[in-house]
Amino acid sequence: MISLPLFFYIEHMKKTFPLVFFLLCLASCDRFGNKDTKQENEKRIVCISKQYSEIIFALGAQKDIVAVDISSTYPPEIKKLPTVGYHRALSAEGVLAAKPTLILHDNNIGPEHVVKQLELLKIPMKVFPKGATLDSAKVLIKEIGAYFHKEQEATALCEKLDNDMSRVLEARKSYKDTVKVLVIHYGQANNVFLIMTKKSTAAKMIEWAGGEIAVDDEKGMKQLSAEVIAASNPDVILLTDFGFDKLGSVEKIKELPGIAGTKAAKNNHIFRVEEHDLVYLGPRTGENTLLLQKIIHPGGN
Amino acid sequence: MITIENIGYHIGHNTLLKEVYLQFHPGKLNLIIGPNGAGKSTLIKILCNQILPDTGSVLFEQRDIKSISVKEMAKMRAVLSQNIELVFPMKVNEVVMMGRYPHFNASPQKRDFDICEETMSYFGVSDLASRNYMTLSGGEKQRTHFARVAAQIWESNENECRYLFLDEPLTFLDIYYQFDFLNKLKVLLSASDLIVVGVVHDLHLAAKFADNISLLYNGQVLADGSVESVLTKENIKTAYRLDAEVQSALNGIRLQF
Amino acid sequence: MVTNNHSRSTTFVLLFLLIGVAFISMRYGAVNISLDEIFSSFRKYFTNSDSMSLNERIFMEIRFPRALLCIIVGACLAVGGTLMQALFRNPIVEPGLVGTSSGAAFGAALYFVLGASFKFNAGVWTLPLAACFGAILSTSLVFVLAVSKESGRSSIVKLLLTGIAINAFFMSGVGFLSYIARDPQARSITFWGMGTLSGANWHAVIIVGLINIVCILLALVYSKQLNTLLLGEEEASYIGIDVKQLKLIILSINVVMISSATAFVGIISFVGLIVPHLLRMLHGSDNRILIKHSVLLGAIILSLADTTARLLLSPAELPIGIVTSLIGVPVFISLLRSKNYYF
């Protein structure tokens, strides 16, 4: 039946990952054409983790990184590197085309059969310990620092992170109320919103910033209907870069079903945030949380 | 010879056929007539083994048709249904060749090609041989199928008669081709092993060409026999609710309503 | 017959094209593999496989089996389409129509989501078996439900409509499973459902290859009988065909073919739909010719689609279902609108 592929297409759009994949492809088509300027490198590292990528660049250890996944978008110069595509939709040849001597990944790569193919060809792969909490993120920074022989830089990054975080927590003490925040990822598709829940990394940062995520769920991200959005009635709505830019303006966003009636819409508390500032912990997490505080507690209270 | 013995058939409480006894002889054009709903189509379907009767049996010579396999049957019996449509393009000669399918295994032999050519020229479709069937007119399609069913039983079998069943074969033909077809059929019927049974609507044609007419009415045989004995004023009045004038003519009878 | 010579030359043209396309799909990819490396990889694979360079291994372990799987699956989808269209006398029929694809999808989804909780484990065979199980389940469900109580037979219209209903039913099952799935599982379902040949390996090539060679040969054996169905089921039986048995055989061939391919590469649409159409324009609807040509043209089209999927956004890769739909829909619509093609 003709409707079968169509059905799958819709079904998959709903599943967000292909949506993510295609939007990323479209948004960053130019990145697929990037020239490999490190042809002569003996060590060739492909980094398939946006968190690792940012840390490696922050450490100044990017010399041997020859390609990254397409979600690695910080710092901006990383976009000049060739990319191997979306981390969950890799192709074996696509990764191998970068001639990697090592693949760094955070166990969040796929599809499974491609990982198997890479293992079959005995391509070395390395996974660092998970950095999902502030403490483990610091451990991760130090581990990566140690691996690239940038111990001092790693220590400095951790210190800066600690400093920023203590400023964050200091500021939080002065807030009288907890602001309810809704984070919408990739805007609106098929009339549902992809929402970051209390299980997400963003939730941690919002909490440090003196806020509270509006929606709870077992998964970090959840597709929710306009009704749930309206019922959660957030004080502030944050949209990640892609979704915000797609919709264009705060006015447009305010017209969306579910958002229109919220306190955030009435008070114009709708803001754009960079995705890579919000979805993983890293050296800039403290800085970013300070920025969040400015957004959700604009008066300092 | 075909013998129909005590055929009865019903769906639910609706009796479509009841106590039908008939015989059809070789070398004769046997036509079945009757008003709408008389059971003509049902009877043809039973003759073709498409549906099983509730009572009675159909015998080809002495053999019950239920005991003859589909494959064996196809070698001696051809059926022309009404209004066959193809959904996919196919050439006329390929359609005609399907009539030979029961007779060869993997690919057609020279004999099969020869027979197809003969039947195509007999029914005047040789010129259409490489045309797409789907582009033909209704009449051309019908003639293609004449050629096909003729090809299926073109050759005499050693021990068996050949049987040809026609279910309203004249529907899409103009009067010229109706006469043409029936005349050609008559020529074929000079073979003593060919038994033709057809359902027609047109009483005039039946009167003109039939050797034997069976008039069905309400699922039963109202009359059976020669044209003159079946197409009487009374029978037509009973079956068709019409007053007809029946006149004797040079060859047979003429009807006027 | 004149058509015979004509169709034979088409066979050669298609064969020639297939060799060309297969060469391109083996030669080009994200990794630049030279001709020398390709030749040496063949040499070393059989003599001294330990000494193979990375590129040689990439060719032998990834690209070559993928190109082969592409040819096999393309042939399988196209022949499946030809068989189904002839059987249903319906030009918009795809192999998935009688519930096969959605059932296979459901079986695979079941394996992804609940596989761990079942005791059943057949190693690499578990997924294809699960898909096959789903396909048989859905297909037989369609047939059981489509048989009418009075006559004990199933009309084709009834089959089609039941097929649509059962498809919807199993697809909602897939939707439900992917909804309750935990994240990594859901990822497998989605990837599998879009169709991709990136998982190709020698296992898949051998399993799908063997199954399909047998099925295609069987299809050829029954191709003459299948022709008679063009006239309708009643006419076919007048020409000496046991229609019920023929339908069962053709459907079984289809189920086995499609579920074996679907298990390894997911759902790939439109190949089974457009290949028979294109070929019918060349030589009409004689299935004896059509099936042979479907093998070749199906392989050509899927190889082209896969090469496109690999090269378009290289080094990233598109799901092949998107490419086949992208190529297939315009071709299909122009076929529908073309004046020399009648339905």
> What domains can you pick out in chain B, each with its CATH number?
2-256 (3.40.50.300)
Contacts of C101 in chain A (CB under 8 A): 4
Contacts of C3 in chain B (CB under 8 A): 91, 94
- Give A272's strand partners: A239
Distance between B103 CA and the closest CA of chain C, angstroms: 10
Q: Give residue-wise pLDDT tens across range B108-159.
A: 999 999 999 999 999 999 999 999 998 899 899 999 999 999 999 999 888 8
Residue C114 near residue C130, CB atoms below 8 Å: no
With CB atoms and an 8 Å threshold, state whether C314 touches A97.
yes
Contacts of C343 in chain B (CB under 8 A): 87
- pLDDT score of B222: 94
* Residue A112 and residue A178 in one domain: no
Residue A6 lies in a domain: no
Contacts of A225 in chain C (CB under 8 A): none
Number of other residues whose CB lies within 10 A of the CB of residue A146: 12
CA of C229: which chain B residue's CA is closest? Answer: B86
Residue C343 lies in a domain: no
Residue A13 lies in a domain: no
Residue C299 near residue C75, CB atoms below 8 Å: yes
Instruction: Place C340 in a pLDDT band, splitting at 50, 70 and 90.
Output: low
Whether A6 has a pLDDT exceeding 50, the answer reads no
* Residue A80 and residue A190 in one domain: no
Contacts of A89 in chain C (CB under 8 A): 191, 316-317, 319
Domain count, chain C: 1
Task: Give ∠ CA C262-C264-C269 in degrees, rounded to 5.
Answer: 35
- Tell me, what CATH number does A234's domain have? 3.40.50.1980
Distance between B98 CA and the closest CA of chain C, angstroms: 7
Domain count, chain A: 2
Mutate to test the interface with C, among B69, B87, B91 (most CBs of C within 10 A): B87
- Give A212's strand partners: A180
Residue C54 lies in a domain: yes
- pLDDT score of C139: 86
**More confident: C26 or C114:** C26
Whether B86 has a pLDDT exceeding 80, the answer reads yes
- Tell me, what CATH number does C322's domain have? 1.10.3470.10
CA–CA gap between residue C109 and residue C89 (Å, rounded) = 31
Residue C75 near residue C275, CB atoms below 8 Å: no
With CB atoms and an 8 Å threshold, state whether C227 touches B152.
no
Residue A270 lies in a domain: yes
CA–CA gap between residue B152 and residue B102 (Å, rounded) = 8
Residue B200 near residue B178, CB atoms below 8 Å: no
With CB atoms and an 8 Å threshold, state whether C231 touches B95.
yes
Residue A127 CB contacts under 8 Å (≥ 6 apart), including other chains: A104, A105, A106, A107
Whether A40 has a pLDDT exceeding 90, the answer reads no
- pLDDT score of C1: 42
Number of other residues whose CB lies within 10 A of the CB of residue C67: 24
Amino acid at C299: A
Structure-token pair, residue C257: 């073919």
* Residue A107 and residue A181 in one domain: no
**pLDDT, average across residues B75-102:** 90
Instruction: Place C192 in a pLDDT band, splitting at 50, 70 and 90.
Output: low
**pLDDT, average across residues A281-286:** 94
C neighbour chains, 3+ CB pairs within 8 Å = A, B
The reply to whether C58 touches chain A by the CB within 8 Å rule is yes
* Residue A44 and residue A130 in one domain: yes
Touching status, chains B and C (3+ beta-carbon pairs under 8 Å): yes
Give the largest CA-CA distance in chain A. Answer: 62
The reply to whether A132 touches chain C by the CB within 8 Å rule is no
Residue B120 near residue B126, CB atoms below 8 Å: yes
Whether A299 has a pLDDT exceeding 80, the answer reads no
**In terms of DSSP H, where are the helices of chain A?**
3-14, 17-27, 29-32, 50-59, 92-96, 112-120, 134-147, 151-173, 201-208, 226-232, 241-247, 250-254, 263-266, 285-296
**pLDDT, average across residues C189-214:** 84
Q: Which among C331, C92, C302 is positioned nearest to A3, based on CA atoms? A: C92
- pLDDT score of A101: 93
Q: Which residue carries 């400093």 as its tokens?
A: A163
Whether A166 has a pLDDT exceeding 70, the answer reads yes
Structure-token pair, residue C128: 């294809």
- Give B248's strand partners: B253
Number of other residues whose CB lies within 10 A of the CB of residue B229: 12
Touching status, chains A and B (3+ beta-carbon pairs under 8 Å): no
* Residue A276 and residue A226 in one domain: yes
Classify strands A236-240 and A179-189 as parallel, antiparallel or unpaired.
parallel
- pLDDT score of B234: 92
Distances (CA, A) of C10 to A50, C174, C224: 52, 41, 20
Distances (CA, A) of B89 to A14, A83, B94, B159: 41, 50, 10, 38
- Give A271's strand partners: A238
Taken as a whole, chain A contains a residue count of 301
State percent of chain A over pLDDT 90. 51
State percent of chain C over pLDDT 90. 31
CA–CA gap between residue B120 and residue B144 (Å, rounded) = 7
With CB atoms and an 8 Å threshold, state whether C191 touches A70.
no
pTM of the model: 0.83
With CB atoms and an 8 Å threshold, state whether C190 touches A18.
yes
Number of other residues whose CB lies within 10 A of the CB of residue C110: 19
* Residue A194 and residue A274 in one domain: yes
Contacts of A15 in chain C (CB under 8 A): 178, 186, 190
CA–CA gap between residue B5 and residue B1 (Å, rounded) = 13
| Residue range of the domain that includes C326 | 2-337
Can you list the pairs that C177-185 forms with residues at least 24 positions away whose Cβ atoms lie under 8 Å? C177/C106, C177/C109, C177/C110, C177/C112, C177/C113, C177/C114, C178/A11, C178/A15, C178/C109, C178/C113, C180/C113, C181/C109, C181/C112, C181/C113, C183/A219, C184/A110, C185/C112, C185/C113
B neighbour chains, 3+ CB pairs within 8 Å = C
Residue C342 lies in a domain: no
Residue A21 lies in a domain: no
Residue A253 lies in a domain: yes
* Residue A182 and residue A125 in one domain: no
Mutate to test the interface with A, among C187, C189, C312, C327 (most CBs of A within 10 A): C187
Give CA B34 to chain center in angstroms. Answer: 15
**pLDDT, average across residues C117-145:** 80
| Residue range of the domain that includes A70 | 38-135+141-147
Give the side-chain half-sphere CA count within 13 A for B140. 15
Buried/exposed code over B91-114 (b: 16+ C-beta within 10 A; e: otherwise):
bbbbbbbbbbbbbeeeebeeebee
CA–CA gap between residue B48 and residue B77 (Å, rounded) = 9
Number of other residues whose CB lies within 10 A of the CB of residue B6: 12
Residue A266 near residue A294, CB atoms below 8 Å: no
Contacts of C264 in chain A (CB under 8 A): none
Distances (CA, A) of C244 to A45, B85, B173, C286, C338: 61, 21, 33, 21, 34
Residue A212 lies in a domain: yes
Q: Give residue-wise pLDDT tens across range A117-137.
A: 899 889 999 999 999 999 999
Residue A280 lies in a domain: yes
Q: Give residue-wise pLDDT tens across range C146-162.
A: 876 555 555 667 777 88
Q: Give me chain C's average pLDDT, please.
A: 84
Distances (CA, A) of B200 to A29, B84, B209: 71, 17, 11
* Residue A205 and residue A283 in one domain: yes
